[in-house]
Amino acid sequence: MSDIKKVVLAYSGGLDTSVIVRWLQDTYNCEVVTFTADIGQGEEVEPARAKAEALGVKEIYIEDLRDEFVRDYVFPMFRANTIYEGEYLLGTSIARPLIAKRLVEIANETGADAISHGATGKGNDQVRFELGAYALKPGVKVIAPWREWDLNSREKLLAYCDERDIPVEKKKGKSPYSMDANLLHISYEGINLEDPWAEAEEDMWRWSVSPEAAPDKPTYVELTYRKGDIVAINGQEMKPHEVLETLNKLAGENGIGRLDIVENRYVGMKSRGCYETPGGTIMLRAHRAIESITLDREVAHLKDSLMPRYAEVIYNGYWWSPEREALQALIDQTQEYVNGTVRLKLYKGNVDVAGRKSDDSLFDEKIATFEEDQGAYDQKDAEGFIKLNALRLRIAAGKGRKL
């Protein structure tokens, strides 16, 4: 007899997780607690309640985590200007630690023996969910049905539903792609995207118009920063999730934020996917712009050198790790004077910086000017500077060494 009496499941209400509810009940003879998070996926989450009730679930958690998601996960990540493999803005990766945290908290609240998720055995999400869970609750039991059952196709899942009277939508008229959405992005995988040579179909995209169809007139927007985070748009103060919602709309209307990449998964395989990250694309460009005038040169370069490591930490699922916390502490300390306003021009898929200003700016026009500087900078000083920096090169050359 199984020692699992109660399981907390990350539940979307879709086909996979609806099957998992019944599978857990049948396989482990246990009670299932469902947890559905609203992190801005763009679909109503409340219908998940009725679906869970129809499956006999008694304890149902449905929570609006949008502001926490942006404030405590997205914003800290963007303070580091984080991108994975030069392109990916980590939209899926950054949502997993929050879900893992709530799974563990709900397990503690309900006295559950285990947690469960619907991630497959091929992907990164299984790693992210489980690394987070183990970091926060070392002895937690994790049940990953995709690594245990033989329901390895949509047809088998639907047949399972028919056999056990599980009410699920057949998704007629819905996207055929494997999709994941939250306030930061939508990802698309599967179907024709499994061929890296095949171009993504235009009707796949949900949040943005094509650059060709974007308005012929540019949109200007001003973002106000406080300690590295956007706190206002065009002078209007906003909550973190409102900032991202607004930027998603502005960017999407201007054809901004589409990405088509082949990435290296942590589990070892290459994967082709398409991403829509409209607001995040603006955020990355604007944050680098405000840092360009407020950060010390060596601090900025240090941040840039650490960013790829920080990105890997998040992509691979180590948000709840000592190395991420150490990196975050350094990153956050650098943001003390990252205050001011950035003006951007949005036009047909492009984000151009039109201006930046800050009371904490290190840009000194008196020194940087090409005009008369009234002695602010003595150009003769550069001669000694160059000779000292060339000393090792001159010594080596004098010894006849070749480069």
207-230, pLDDT tens digit by residue? 999 999 999 999 999 999 999 999
Cα–Cα distance for residue pair 306/82, rounded to 1 Å: 10
pLDDT at 1: 44
Cα–Cα distance for residue pair 57/37, rounded to 1 Å: 16
| Percent over 90 (pLDDT), the chain | 90
pLDDT at 73: 98
Binding-site residues for L-aspartate, in ranges, read 120, 124-125
Binding-site residues for ATP, in ranges, read 10-18, 37, 118
Q: Is the pLDDT of residue 108 over 70?
A: yes
Q: Which of 22, 96, 272, 285 is catalytic?
A: 96
Position 82, amino acid: T
pLDDT at 319: 98
CA distances from 195 to 102, 121, 199, 271, 273 (A): 36, 21, 9, 10, 10
pLDDT tens per residue across span 361-371? 999 999 999 99
3-state secondary structure of 297: helix
Average pLDDT, the chain: 95
Answer with the residue of higher pLDDT: 304 or 164.
Answer: 304
Cα–Cα distance for residue pair 261/279, rounded to 1 Å: 18
pLDDT at 175: 64
Q: Which residues pair with 220 in a beta bridge?
A: 345
Cα–Cα distance for residue pair 74/245, rounded to 1 Å: 13
Q: Which residues pair with 276 in a beta bridge?
A: 186, 258
Cα–Cα distance for residue pair 292/77, rounded to 1 Å: 18
When pLDDT is cut at 50, 70 and 90, the band that residue 153 belongs to is confident
Q: Which of 16, 38, 113, 229 is catalytic?
A: 16
Could you tell me the residue ranges of all domains in the chain?
6-66+93-164, 178-295+337-357, 369-398
Q: Which of 49, 175, 178, 206 is catalytic?
A: 178
Q: Is the pLDDT of residue 173 over 90?
A: no
When pLDDT is cut at 50, 70 and 90, the band that residue 152 belongs to is confident
Of the candidates 209, 216, 219, 212, the one whose C-alpha atom is nearest the C-alpha of residue 345 is: 219
When pLDDT is cut at 50, 70 and 90, the band that residue 67 belongs to is very high
Of the candidates 148, 122, 126, 134, the one whose C-alpha atom is nearest the C-alpha of residue 19 is: 148
Beta-carbon contacts of residue 47 (< 8 Å; ≥ 6 apart): 13
Cα–Cα distance for residue pair 363/290, rounded to 1 Å: 11
Same fold, 6-66+93-164 and 178-295+337-357: no
Cα–Cα distance for residue pair 368/301, rounded to 1 Å: 20
CA distances from 198 to 80, 88, 274 (A): 33, 19, 12
Q: By mean pLDDT, which of 164-178, 179-193, 276-290, 336-350 is the weakest?
A: 164-178
125 is catalytic: yes
Q: What is the CATH number of domain 6-66+93-164?
A: 3.40.50.620
Cα–Cα distance for residue pair 57/45, rounded to 1 Å: 16
Burial-class residue 149 by CB neighbours within 10 Å (0-12, 13-18, 19+): middle
Binding-site residues, in ranges, read 10-18, 37, 88, 93, 118, 120, 124-125, 128, 178, 187, 263, 275
Binding-site residues for L-citrulline, in ranges, read 88, 93, 124, 128, 178, 187, 263, 275
pTM for the model stands at: 0.95
Q: Which of 38, 113, 125, 229 is catalytic?
A: 125
Per the CB < 8 A criterion, the answer to whether 142 and 115 are in contact is yes
CATH class label, 178-295+337-357: alpha beta
Q: Is the pLDDT of residue 172 over 80?
A: no
If one counts every other C-beta atom within 10 angstroms of the C-beta of residue 334, the result is 20
When pLDDT is cut at 50, 70 and 90, the band that residue 183 belongs to is very high
pLDDT at 42: 85
16 is catalytic: yes
Q: Which residues pair with 186 in a beta bridge?
A: 181, 276
Q: By mean pLDDT, which of 77-86, 242-251, 373-382 is the weakest?
A: 373-382
Q: Is the pLDDT of residue 403 over 90?
A: no
